[in-house]
Structure 1
Amino acid sequence: MYAVIKSGGKQHRVSTDELLKVELLKVEKGETIKFEDVLMVVDGETVKIGQPIVDGASVEAEVVDHGRGEKIRIVKHKRRKHYHKEQGHRQWYTLLRIKAINA
């Protein structure tokens, strides 16, 4: 059984007991959150597709950790113009453990 949820403007395919990194959520470590924006639920041969969300479906997840991702280097360079600029970015994330998919 798996589901497709929407979080942080992105869609994620999740199944039970899976670890998932999503954009930073304002939730304390150890708390349980419930995602109501379930776009699709698949249980064996049964497929429920929402328009845009599946009615009555939800996904429960536990917050495991908060952190920052790998550094991404942004480099801007113009040849022959003595212009070179470097910048770095580390995106904040929330690590979730999917506990249950309620269809």
Structure 2
Amino acid sequence: MFAVIKTGGKQYRVAADDVLLVERLPGEAGDTVTLEEVLMVGSKIGAPFVSGASVKLEIVEQTRGKKVISFKKRRRQNSKRTRGHRQDLTKIRVAEIAGA
């Protein structure tokens, strides 16, 4: 059975024992998190969420993404700007999908 969940403003199609990187979730490695924002379970489609459905996630580790460099240069103006960004991420494992 699979489910479509919403976290961090994005949607993910997950099944049991899947491991994926999502936006930072609160908690430490080894903690269990339950998501109630389930958009779809099997063939049930929510409007917008499936009532009574939840997905249990286990946090594997808290990590950070790859560094992204934003560089802007204005030609002949002797002006440039460099800015870097690293996104906070959480590596999760889907433990259980509870459908309604």
The TM tier, using the shorter chain, reads: over 0.9
Q: Say what the alpha-carbon RMSD is for the aligned residues.
A: 0.9
CA deviations over 1:6-33 (Å, ceiling 9, x no partner): 1112111111111111111111210111
Amino acid at match of 2:37: D
- Tell me, in whole angstroms, the C-alpha distance in 2 between the residues paired with 1:2 and 1:28: 25
Q: CA deviation at 1:69?
A: 0.6
The unaligned stretches of length 5 or more in structure 2 are none
SS in 1 for 2:89: strand
- Tell me, in whole angstroms, the C-alpha distance in 2 between the residues paired with 1:83 and 1:33: 47
The unaligned stretches of length 5 or more in structure 1 are none
**Residue aligning to 1:10:** 10
Q: CA deviation at 1:67?
A: 0.7
Normalised to the residue count of structure 1, the TM-score between the two structures is 0.91
The runs of 4+ residues in structure 1 deviating greater than 6 Å are none
Matched positions, count? 99
Amino acid at match of 2:98: N
- Tell me, in whole angstroms, the C-alpha distance in 2 between the residues paired with 1:18 and 1:12: 11
- Tell me, in whole angstroms, the C-alpha distance in 1 between the residues paired with 2:26 and 2:53: 23
Normalised to the residue count of structure 2, the TM-score between the two structures is 0.93
Q: CA deviation at 1:36?
A: 0.5
Question: Taking every aligned residue pair, what percent have the same amino acid on both sides?
Answer: 48
